[in-house]
Amino acid sequence: MKSKKQSYDRVAKVFDFLRGGDMLRWDSHQKSLFKNLKGKVLYVGTGTGLETVNFPPNLNVTAIDLSYVMLERSKERVEKYSGTMNRCQMDAQTTAFRDNSFDTVVTVCVLCTVKNPINCLKEIKRVLKPEGRLIMFEHVLSKNPLFALVLKTMSNFTEKLEGTFLDRDTVKNAEQAGFELVSHKNVYLDIVKALVAKPGR
Amino acid sequence: MAVCVHLIVPSDLNMFAGMLLGGFIGMVLMLFMMLVLMPFFGAFEVMIPLHLNGMLIGMGSGMLSTLPSLAWEQIILGGAVVGFFVSLYIYFANQSLIQS
């Protein structure tokens, strides 16, 4: 836990630089996906707040991240956002929110990073209202063996460098945590995905 | 890529060892290229093509470098052909997957 937090704090300094290319490529896909954000929104794994520029205006957002350094770096973007955005330092796997607190929960490249993605998704399900939506913009392991080989090899490096796993099956994890997939769109190959899920019965 | 592998892989190596060494060199070189290109083109958009190209061109060039009768221009041409087909494969796989 401590090492994860330290790892995020360390990466925070170069986070915007490393994600610059992704934001250029994913901008329009994120804008389209984030149209689903409604009501009281929980933004899990805020990082430096890169995605806030793609959020629809005037939302009531609670933004959480494990790393204080990341949250500090998100300050400028959060202040520029037209709606309300409150930042809290919190572990996504054990949040301090009451059951059924949010209408929408949004994650961007978070479920590839948290220590236990199923526990994190179960926690999200707990704080999400039964009729709420989970919006995920995530990268997953490809079903193509060639692409999967690259991702599995690179995962050994990225795990140590920035605590990111490239070999996770987030769709399956979401289903295991009790979510039902509402929509599923591939953004790049079958690796980067825009997903909408609802709590299962 | 093919030139780098050709310069590093000794020509007296057996073909199988040349292939393995070439593939390894290719992937290491692509790691450095990835760090340079990733902030501009996106992590996955760079990682997948670079590593597949690095591995396959490296393996092919490593294997060909152990054949003394081949000129380095032919090895470069071999690398370029592999690179072209790998890029084409990724392009069409992406088109098919994002439309599915």
Average pLDDT, chain A: 90
Digit-coded pLDDT (tens) for A159-173: 887 788 999 999 999
For residue A104, the number of C-alpha atoms closer than 13 Å in the C-beta half-sphere is: 21
More confident residue, A24 or A102: A102
Q: How far is A19 from chain B (nearest CA, A)?
A: 6
| Pairwise CB contact (< 8 Å): B45 & A147 | no
| Pairwise CB contact (< 8 Å): B39 & A18 | yes
For chain A, say whether B31 makes contact (Cβ under 8 Å): yes
| Pairwise CB contact (< 8 Å): A191 & B41 | no
Digit-coded pLDDT (tens) for A54-112: 999 999 999 999 988 889 989 999 999 998 999 999 999 999 999 999 999 999 999 99
For residue B90, which residues of chain A lie inside 8 Å, CB to CB? Answer: 189
| Pairwise CB contact (< 8 Å): A20 & B40 | yes
The full 3-state SS of chain A, as one line of letters, equals CHHHHHHHHHHHHHHHHHHHHHHHHHHHHHHHHHHHCCCEEEEECCCCCHHHHHCCCCCEEEEEECCHHHHHHCHHHHHHCCCEEEEEECCCCCCCCCCCCEEEEEEECCCCCCCCHHHHHHHHHHHEEEEEEEEEEEECCCCCHHHHHHHHHHHHHHHHHHCCCCCCCHHHHHHHCCEEEEEEEEEECCCEEEEEEEECC
Structure tokens that stand for A77 in this block = 């973007």
Structure tokens that stand for A103 in this block = 């209408």
Distances (CA, A) of A66 to A3, A12, A71, A162: 11, 11, 8, 14
Query: Which letter does DSSP use for residue B70 in this model?
Result: S
Of B27, B40, B48, which has the smallest distance from its Cβ to A147's Cβ? B48
Give the closest residue to B64 by CA, choosing from B9, B25, B4. B9
The model's pTM: 0.87
- If you average pLDDT over residues B52-72, what whole number do you get? 89
For chain A, say whether B87 makes contact (Cβ under 8 Å): no
CA A178 to chain centroid: 18
Residue A121's pLDDT is what?
96
- If you average pLDDT over residues A148-157, what whole number do you get? 91
For chain A, say whether B40 makes contact (Cβ under 8 Å): yes
Give the closest residue to B46 by CA, choosing from A54, A104, A188, A6. A188
CA distance A42 to B30: 38
Digit-coded pLDDT (tens) for B4-37: 888 888 888 888 999 999 999 998 999 889 888 8
Of A17, A22, A144, which has the smallest distance from its Cβ to B42's Cβ? A22
More confident residue, A156 or A4: A156
Return phi, psi of residue A196, to 5°: -125, 130
Q: Is the pLDDT of residue A9 over 80?
A: no
CA distance A101 to A79: 23
CA distance A111 to A179: 14
Q: Is the pLDDT of residue A2 over 60?
A: no
Residues B91, B45 contacting (CB under 8 angstroms): no
No. of helices (H) and no. of strands (E), chain B: 4, 0
Which band of pLDDT confidence, cut at 50, 70 and 90, is reported for residue A146? very high
Residue B7's pLDDT is what?
87
* A186: nearest CA partner in chain B: B98
CA distance B87 to A115: 34
Residue A89's pLDDT is what?
93
Contacting residues for A132 by C-beta, under 8 A, at least 6 apart: A39, A100, A102, A103, A104, A105, A198, A199
Residue A1's pLDDT is what?
46
- If you average pLDDT over residues A121-136, what whole number do you get? 96
Which candidate in A151, A158, A189 is best for mutational testing of the B interface (most B CBs within 10 A)?
Answer: A189
| Pairwise CB contact (< 8 Å): B97 & A21 | no
For residue A19, which residues of chain B lie inside 8 Å, CB to CB? Answer: 43
* B38: nearest CA partner in chain A: A21
For chain A, say whether B45 makes contact (Cβ under 8 Å): yes
Which band of pLDDT confidence, cut at 50, 70 and 90, is reported for residue B68? confident
For chain A, say whether B47 makes contact (Cβ under 8 Å): yes
